């Protein structure tokens, strides 16, 4: 399967106008030094140009000129070391069928098994295997152990480098240093400092891979994470942090590396997100490839972005999330420039392993099962069922957060409930004809209690505060500059908080209509046709959330509350509904903001 490309129509609906128009916007300065044409070529299957392995005809086609390198990578596995279900927002209605056919996706043992096979043939000495962060927070066991349970599994994977993601800062600095201090592979990060100004990890590393000397620059993000004053992360938090100073710093670093180490290739291992990566590629010099993460994009066809002086074309990559893809880039280098490449997102399923004559790595499999075992009796308890697919991938709502916010509002008898705009977590599968079980582990996944402290809080919000929070989120998702697109930060609300929004509007003007309905049925309009209803903005609404703030409900945990809620319902069927609506057509050309 790895010699064919995944058809375009499989690209997530989320991979929308933003990526496509930006990819087509080549940023060239007037003093451009012509970059070589970068040609996309067919993938070279494992075992190609090797003896004794049965291969399709294409495998024996002539190789492109130059020195080859294969980059394999994972990103945003979020501590899901065992296979999971994972539906995209666009797959809510179809994923139950998909899951029935392909089973679960990901799992480190399966990934390691694929890596072993993909290292065969010409790639035996020429493969770099890296991870781009968001590794320690997400799965129930990862949350319960503050990332610790993931460590032994990761250490059996054979990674060449890792850079942290924002969720790897989910706990305090001591925890971060303790967990990462146990990793047996190099950590690299160019924009992560201690409070005293020293760098936490080397800013870059250089490695000889086969015939090429490869430099790897790490780039992290602390978006949405509570790093507080423990760390200083430059270039983070939207504008102006990812501005010219940050761009200059990265270009200068790449220039220093090139001057002192003479690498054949400079790779950025980035957890900044797909949009920031593309703009950064266009506004910096010296980088050849960005192996990206954070926004969970399934980048089947990577943009190739001309860099700031036009001397290089930068290939910008990302491989979804939750281990459902193993990213694969094969490239050929001549005279210090990439001249040809092929890429693939290898879907990590039992069928793929079968097709490629791969088997799950037994060592990794044993370690993953061992990491899960102590928690199995608690997490595997079935507490109810669902007749729809629960996922958390939508930009402004998802079936999982619709369920959670509605449940909190009902249980606490409040006007509003909200949840952070996180988009990670496995999916829970059910359909009307075949309801799926919900376990206690699923509730850990739904509540993500470490995005808070596993408590429920009640508080009040004025209309103005609701609108302000919504504006902040929409600015980072639909703002006027790609550097603002940090990730999914739009609060999720229960169905009594209803809004429509327009894409392409200036910051703080995206909301078109916003209303909040009180428990007693009174509808309070807060924005009408783009105009805030000032008389109503001081109206006070009661709220509940699992995010700290206001008054903690005594003697309950958020997980227990949702477990007992599901038990009381027996069957749930959350759906996407009209609580959020995107109106107006999306821009077809945003190059002017580039």
Residues in touch with Zn ion (CB under 5 A):
134, 165-166, 294
Q: Are the C-beta atoms of 242 and 275 separated by less than 8 Å?
A: no
The 8 Å CB, 24+ separation contacts for 378-381 are 378/440, 378/441, 379/140, 379/141, 379/439, 379/440, 379/441, 379/444, 380/439, 380/440, 380/441, 381/439, 381/440
Report the nearest approach of Zn ion to the CB of residue 247 (Å).
21
Which CB atom, from 106 or from 384, has the smaller least distance to Zn ion? 106
5 C-beta neighbours (distance < 10 Å), count: 16
Which CB atom, from 219 or from 438, has the smaller least distance to Zn ion? 219
Q: How far is CA 92 from CA 10, 74, 270, 296, 431, in A?
A: 14, 24, 29, 17, 10
What's the N-to-C CA distance of the chain in angstroms? 37
Report the nearest approach of Zn ion to the CB of residue 205 (Å).
21
What DSSP string describes 529-559? Answer: TTEE-GGGTT-EEEEEESSS-SEEPTT--HH
The pair phi, psi for residue 551, each rounded to 5°, is: -110, 125
Which CB atom, from 165 or from 449, has the smaller least distance to Zn ion? 165
Report the nearest approach of Zn ion to the CB of residue 49 (Å).
37
Q: What six digits make up the tokens of 164?
A: 């942290």
Which CB atom, from 322 or from 498, has the smaller least distance to Zn ion? 322
Which CB atom, from 137 or from 391, has the smaller least distance to Zn ion? 137
Q: Which residue number places its CB atom closest to Zn ion?
A: 294
Which CB atom, from 384 or from 425, has the smaller least distance to Zn ion? 425
Which of 22, 389, 66, 410 is CA-nearest to residue 210? Answer: 66
Cα–Cα dist 280/300, whole Å: 20
Report the nearest approach of Zn ion to the CB of residue 47 (Å).
35
Cα–Cα dist 487/470, whole Å: 14
Report the nearest approach of Zn ion to the CB of residue 135 (Å).
10
The angle, 0 to 180 degrees and rounded to 10, between the axes of the packed helices 274-283 and 17-24 is 10
Report the nearest approach of Zn ion to the CB of residue 165 (Å).
4
The pair phi, psi for residue 187, each rounded to 5°, is: -105, 145
Which CB atom, from 55 or from 183, has the smaller least distance to Zn ion? 183
User: Sign of the CA dihedral 561, 165, 396, 438?
Assistant: negative
Which CB atom, from 318 or from 328, has the smaller least distance to Zn ion? 318
Report the nearest approach of Zn ion to the CB of residue 278 (Å).
16
Which CB atom, from 113 or from 224, has the smaller least distance to Zn ion? 224
Report the nearest approach of Zn ion to the CB of residue 170 (Å).
10
Q: Are the C-beta atoms of 527 and 533 separated by less than 8 Å?
A: yes
Report the nearest approach of Zn ion to the CB of residue 381 (Å).
30
């Amino acid at each position: 399967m790895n010699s064919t490309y995944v058809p375009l129509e499989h690209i997530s609906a989320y991979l929308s106008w933003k990526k496509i128009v930006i990819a087509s916007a080549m940023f060239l300065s007037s003093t451009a030094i012509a970059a070589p044409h970068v040609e996309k070529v067919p993938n070279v299957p494992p075992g190609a140009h090797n003896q004794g392995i049965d291969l399709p005809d294409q495998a024996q086609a002539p190789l492109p000129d130059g020195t080859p390198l294969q980059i394999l990578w994972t990103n945003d596995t979020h501590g899901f070391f065992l296979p999971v279900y994972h539906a995209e927002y666009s797959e809510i209605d179809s994923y139950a069928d998909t899951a029935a056919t392909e089973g679960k996706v990901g799992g480190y043992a399966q990934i390691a098994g694929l890596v072993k096979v993909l290292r065969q043939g010409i790639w035996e000495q020429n493969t770099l295997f890296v991870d781009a962060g968001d590794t320690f927070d997400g799965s129930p066991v990862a949350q319960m152990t503050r990332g610790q349970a993931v460590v032994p599994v990761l250490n059996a994977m054979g990674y060449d480098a890792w850079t942290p993601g924002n969720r790897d800062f989910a706990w305090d600095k001591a925890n971060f240093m303790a967990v990462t201090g146990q990793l047996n592979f190099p950590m690299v990060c160019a924009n992560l400092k201690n409070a005293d100004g020293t760098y936490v990890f080397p800013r870059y590393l250089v490695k000889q891979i086969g015939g090429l000397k490869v430099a790897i620059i790490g780039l992290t993000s602390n978006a949405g994470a509570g790093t507080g004053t423990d760390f200083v992360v430059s270039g983070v938090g939207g504008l102006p942090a990812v501005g010219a100073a940050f761009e200059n710093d990265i270009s200068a670093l790449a220039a220093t590396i090139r001057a002192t180490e003479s690498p054949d290739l400079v790779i950025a291992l980035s957890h900044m997100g797909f949009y920031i990566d593309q703009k950064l590629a266009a506004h910096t010099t010296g980088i050849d490839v960005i192996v990206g993460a954070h926004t969970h994009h399934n980048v089947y066809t990577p943009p190739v972005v001309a860099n700031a002086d036009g001397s290089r074309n930068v290939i910008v990559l990302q491989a979804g999330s939750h281990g459902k893809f193993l990213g694969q880039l094969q490239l050929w280098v001549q005279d210090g420039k990439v001249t040809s490449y092929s890429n693939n997102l290898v879907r990590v399923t039992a069928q793929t392993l079968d097709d490629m004559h791969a088997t799950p790595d037994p060592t990794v499999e044993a370690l993953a099962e061992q990491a899960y075992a102590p928690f199995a009796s608690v997490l595997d308890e079935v507490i109810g069922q669902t007749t729809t697919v629960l996922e958390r991938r939508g930009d402004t709502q998802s079936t999982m957060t619709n369920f959670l916010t509605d449940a909190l509002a009902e249980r606490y008898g409040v006007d509003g409930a909200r949840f952070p705009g996180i988009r990670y977590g496995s999916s829970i599968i059910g359909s009307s004809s075949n309801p799926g079980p919900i376990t206690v582990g699923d509730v850990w996944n739904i509540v993500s209690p470490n995005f808070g402290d596993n408590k429920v809080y009640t508080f009040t919000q004025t209309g103005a505060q609701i609108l302000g929070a919504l504006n902040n989120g929409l600015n980072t998702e639909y703002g006027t500059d790609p550097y603002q697109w940090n990730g999914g930060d739009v609060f999720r609300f229960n169905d009594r908080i209803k809004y429509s929004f327009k894409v392409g509007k200036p910051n703080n003007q995206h909301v078109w209509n916003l209303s909040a309905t009180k428990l007693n049925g009174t509808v309070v309009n807060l924005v009408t046709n783009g105009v805030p209803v000032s008389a109503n903005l001081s109206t006070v609404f009661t709220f509940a959330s699992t995010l700290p703030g206001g008054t903690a409900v005594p003697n309950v945990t958020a997980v227990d509350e949702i477990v007992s809620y599901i038990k009381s319902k027996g069957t749930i069927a959350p759906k996407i509904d009209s609580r959020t609506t995107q109106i107006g057509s999306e821009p077809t050309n945003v190059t002017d903001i580039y």
